[in-house]
Amino acid sequence: MREVERLLRPSRVSAPAVVLLLALAALAAVACDDSGEGGEIDIDGSSTVYPITAAVAEEFDAVAGDVRVNVGFSGTGGGFEAFCAGETQISDASRPIRQDEIDACAQNGIDDILEIEVALDALTVMVHPDNDFVDCLTIEQLHEIFRTDGADNWSEVDANFSDRSIALYFPGTDSGTFDYFVETIIKDVDEAAFHRGDGTASEDDNVLAQGIGGDNDSIGYFGFAYFQDAGQSLKAVSIDAGEGCIAPSFESALDGSYPLSRPLFIYTRELFLAEHPENPVLRFVEFYLDNATVLVAEVGYVSLPADILQAQKDKIAPFLP
């Protein structure tokens, strides 16, 4: 009986499904990528730079509709990972590329990375609007607040501050904003120190803005564009890096006096630029720099000073026909 039953037992229950899946997978690997007539540019990386690149891509689409420009934001670190795996042609970054990332790229034969500055951002430190004792903080005080085992109480930062506990709000660890803060506030003051983890971390700056606004003892930081929009109800803290207290603003970021102003970047490969005109990357980057001044300001960032912008244009000049 058992034998008969086993002989009668159909053995390919999900055979059609398996065949369908295998066929789809096989053909997927064979079929060539159908991009727009003029090619396709995949861009990923920093969510801080994303609004600028998306604005440029939108305008570029109007003048070069045959080129597909796709923009995502998986964070500066995630962007470099995809870039070094050869999945993207341009990577948005809110900090310079790190040595370990350069090494990872080189392992995949990507050793012609070109760094292009596209805008300035002023990292803005904020407290609750009712906080009347913090107007200005030195780099050392910020370090004391945000390093591990740092101050738990405002009065530990400055004897004149109120005797209340500190609540921290900061961007997630995959963001370039976090990396930049770690570099300039934590590591530059004390190489052995770390950014503390006890606080509210979020990749969503709107969440940070809401958190800081809803907590009397809060302090947090994010990019200037968010401060202008979501953070308007918050109180920005001036920063003292030894030359007096400087408030974050377009002007102080542009003239370099604001200590926490930082450049924003896009990265690409010289190979892609040299492949012009088959590869649309050069057209896109040229368009990016030609329109950066207007579009950067439009989405709430600080446009590059003329001389620095010219230096970026000079980087791609050798590839232009």
Partner 1 sequence: MANQSIRLRAGGAVARRQLVSRASRYFFLGATVLGVSILLFLGYETIVTGASRLSLDFLTNYPSRFAEKAGLRPAMFGTFWLMLITIFTSIPIAIGTAIWIEEFAPRNRLMTIVKINLANLAGVPSIIYGILGLTIFVRFAGMDRSLLAGGFTLALMIIPMTVIASQEAIRQVPPSLRDGALALGATRWQAVRYNVLPNAIPGIMTGTILSISRAIGETAALLMIGGFTFIRFDPGPNLVDFADPAAFLAGLNESFTVIPIQIYAWSIDSRREFQANAAAAIIVLMVGVMALNLLAAVIRERFRRN
Q: By CB under 8 A, is residue 303 in contact with partner 1?
A: no
Count of beta carbons in the 10 Å neighbourhood of residue 256: 10
User: Shortest distance, CB of residue 263 to partner 1, whole angstroms?
Assistant: 19
- Nearest-5° Cα angle at 128, 125 to 131: 105
Query: Under rule CB under 8 A, which residues in 175-234 are in contact with partner 1?
Result: 203-206, 223, 225-226, 228-230
Point out which span in 95-103, 132-140, 277-285, 294-302 binds partner 1 (CB under 8 A): 294-302
Q: By CB under 8 A, is residue 240 in contact with partner 1?
A: no
User: Shortest distance, CB of residue 294 to partner 1, whole angstroms?
Assistant: 12
Strand partners, 171: 202
Tell me the C-alpha distance between 50 and 120, whole Å.
13
Tell me the C-alpha distance between 48 and 262, whole Å.
12
| Nearer to partner 1 among residue 28 and residue 192 (C-beta) | 28
Q: By CB under 8 A, is residue 21 in contact with partner 1?
A: yes
Q: How many CA atoms lie within 13 A of 6 on its CB side?
A: 3
Tell me the C-alpha distance between 308 and 199, whole Å.
37
Q: By CB under 8 A, is residue 38 in contact with partner 1?
A: no
Which two structure tokens, joined as six digits, stand for 124? Answer: 């803005």
| Nearer to partner 1 among residue 154 and residue 226 (C-beta) | 226
Point out which span in 55-63, 106-114, 173-181, 273-281 binds partner 1 (CB under 8 A): 55-63
Site string for partner 1, 126-165 (x = CB under 8 A): ----------------------------------------
Q: How many CA atoms lie within 13 A of 144 on its CB side?
A: 13
Give first-to-last CA distance, the chain, whole Å. 81
Residues with Cβ within 8 Å of 311's Cβ and at least 6 positions away in sequence, in order, are 117
Tell me if 168 sits within 8 A of 146, measured CB to CB. Answer: yes
Q: By CB under 8 A, is residue 34 in contact with partner 1?
A: yes
Under the rule (CB under 8 A), what is the footprint of partner 1? Answer: 5, 8-10, 13-14, 16-18, 20-21, 24-25, 27-29, 31-36, 40, 42, 44, 47, 50-51, 53-55, 57-58, 61, 68-74, 82, 85, 87, 203-206, 223, 225-226, 228-230, 298-300
